[in-house]
Structure 1
């Protein structure tokens, strides 16, 4: 090996170690940057004419485990879906209360029944009659407040759903811009590793909102799809594009309706959690409340002399009309407010019954004890008013507790995979410091070779003179 070859090899070593030092410094400075992936310098032996010429820098390597990233995103997406749904259910459940709570509709039903039982023993007692009217009013208020809470939760979930859709669209437009930049720089042979980090951070954000799959083209561009294969992004998008749209209760992608269902297109993400709360959980809760309200109106209407006319409870002042929305406008008959004796004699009565006459009160109490048919999802098909109300509260609280239990499970899994991803692809400062020591030694050795070669050349020049 000639002195020239030795100098060339040593100089290539100096250049390589300089780049390594810069890259390690870049890694260390970004050790706490979210989404940053550790970079390494790809090196190979430089060979010319079959002879070694030192070391060659082939480029910056960004080695990630795509399968681990996919799994981490999926578990995180499942967690955020459950988090969104559990949060909505908790907001509603706080108003609903537990079956034994004072604020629950089941307690209000029980108190009204108790007030009628007390009235039976003192039917001509005006205070006892007024207490029945008061408890009936309290029950109506509880139904109104609970239905209003369900509606408010539904509205909030829809608002958050739209915000989540907007966030996905904004992130995908930016991913599309990075796609174009990465493709151009890749074609020019430039380093795109930091740009890919930025893109992965955006894809992480997208996956929290909606479950996605991705694959990368040879050009470096990434294609984004729902987990069931519906394309959300392919190459660049124009500014302001909306790859995902919320139209009524439907989500659209590329002009196609995509299903919000764990087994279909959108399998996870906040979008699914908010959509479940807005279009499944709260409508179901309202339907159950409406069934209870319908039971109250119909049972007490049926306890009157003329079961076709309004009873103690009315459909916004009229006889029973429709179940839909009834929990929000059920009302106590105004007739009992001006004449409380009607809760002893009958709402339709024109004169009070004789003191001690318990006939009508027994009919009202029979409205509580009679088993009737209900048509509410997840609740008994046949039950008394009290049992149905208790079952309603217990079941709706059960939705919340189940969602929160699932949330805990999802969080453990998501955190475990995210930590595995960070440990594999992130920066370990101790490891990087060890690399710096090796780089320092390598740099010193290459410099030493140049010094020795320089002295040898000086000696040759002296001999020549």
Structure 2
């Protein structure tokens, strides 16, 4: 080999080692950067007709697409589970633990106790006032639960709008990156940084919907949901959704009161079995259109059961067939066809409201013309017994099983706690699974120990090439001095 050839070989080696050292430095500094893929220099032998050496062919970005795809699906499952767990936990907190202050079951118990206390001394105006106060507290608890359930639906609707907006912005950015990748690939430019940016965007979308990424020509990608909806293929889809200003108990997607998703203007199935199922977006639809309405319907049915138990045909024989009972629908008699939202409208009959001056009607009957014997406590006792008498509820929402009003409340509280426990268990499992996949993905990323070892090897190679250049320089000086 000629001295010129040796010099060329050493110089090409120095250039490659310098670039490789820069990549190692970049790898180490970005070891914990989200979306970063480890870089490695691609080298090829020198071109024919030269004296050898190496040529930089490009930069290789390492990742494991299978692990990343599994982790992104896990991200969507975890996001869905987290939303459902948060909702169930909030509902359980609102219902309250039996025996705790402010819990729904505690309000019922307080109402029962006030009735029994008043029945032992029906002449006591204070005890009768306590009955009216505890009954009002019970209705207020039902009101609060109903209001909070509808607010959770409103929050879900708002969240859907925000997630759709984020999804559209992300798809637009991915489309721009696709264009940049194709252009860079055509000119032979380094696209690793673009791939990093794209990975971060895909990760942000994977929380919203589970993704399937398909490679296209020259480094571009197409994007689909795992259930088959196209998000990006050549151009991004426009996901549409319109929020509503206020949600009431009777509003639903099926009736057209609430909105679903559209893709390029075409309506899409927005249920848990639709094209966008599986991520946080689907969870918000389930909360808005299924989980919360089911809780509302059960609460309304419980309110109806309470009104019917203590209405006409119940313990108060002074009531006419069309008279409002002890509990009313916003002051009027119950209309069975207007059960929806009843928990938010139920009220204690104004005739016996606290501080009304006529709480004696709790003892003598709502329809009594005048006060009766002040020591008569049978009606108060009968009201208490009616709450604990088992009967089949009129509402089709509740199971057609003979139960007392107290049992209905206990069942509602137990259901809320049970739903939370199941959601928590699923969330714990999916969280562990996601952590394991994330750790596996991370293990395939930058290993700083290996990078430092590579840096030592590069330093040795650099020194060797520099030594060759030094020797060639000495030889050339000797030749020139002859």
* TM-score normalised over the length of structure 2: 0.89
Give the one of 426, 450, 464 matched to 1:445. 464
Q: 1:411 to 1:175 in 2, by over 3 A?
A: same
Q: 1:21 to 1:410 in 2, by over 3 A?
A: same
Residues in 1 aligned to 2:443 and 2:89: alpha-carbon distance in whole angstroms? 34
Q: 1:316 to 1:256 in 2, by over 3 A?
A: same
Residues in 1 aligned to 2:147 and 2:98: alpha-carbon distance in whole angstroms? 19
Q: Is the 8 A contact 1:209 1:269 kept in 2?
A: yes
Q: 1:170 to 1:389 in 2, by over 3 A?
A: same
Give the one of 285, 294, 297 matched to 1:284. 294
Task: Tell me how far 1:219 sits from its aligned partner.
Answer: 2.0
Match of residue 320 from structure 1: 334
Q: Is the 8 A contact 1:104 1:393 kept in 2?
A: no
SS state at 2:114 partner: helix
Q: Is the 8 A contact 2:78 2:431 kept in 1?
A: yes
- Mean Cα deviation higher: 75-84 or 345-354: 345-354
Match of residue 246 from structure 2: none
- Matching of residues 9-88 of structure 1 within 5 Å: 9-48=9-48, 53-88=52-87
Task: Tell me how far 1:207 sits from its aligned partner.
Answer: 0.7
Match of residue 160 from structure 1: 159
Q: 1:90 to 1:457 in 2, by over 3 A?
A: same
Q: Deviations over 1:435-457 (max 9, x none)?
A: 11111111111122223333334
Q: Is the 8 A contact 1:288 1:376 kept in 2?
A: no
Q: Extract unaligned runs of 5+ from structure 2.
A: 244-257
- Mean Cα deviation higher: 348-357 or 10-19: 348-357
Match of residue 191 from structure 1: 190
Q: Is the 8 A contact 1:38 1:62 kept in 2?
A: yes
Task: Tell me how far 1:121 sits from its aligned partner.
Answer: 2.8
Q: Is the 8 A contact 1:106 1:389 kept in 2?
A: yes
What CA RMSD, in Å, does the superposition of the two structures yield over aligned residues? 2.3
Task: Tell me how far 1:246 sits from its aligned partner.
Answer: 4.8
Residues in 2 aligned to 1:412 and 1:375: alpha-carbon distance in whole angstroms? 42
Q: Is the 8 A contact 1:43 1:56 kept in 2?
A: yes
Give the one of 413, 429, 433 matched to 2:433. 413
Give the one of 354, 361, 378 matched to 1:342. 361
Q: Deviations over 1:198-236 (max 9, x none)?
A: 011011011112222111212211211111110112234
Q: How many residues align?
A: 458
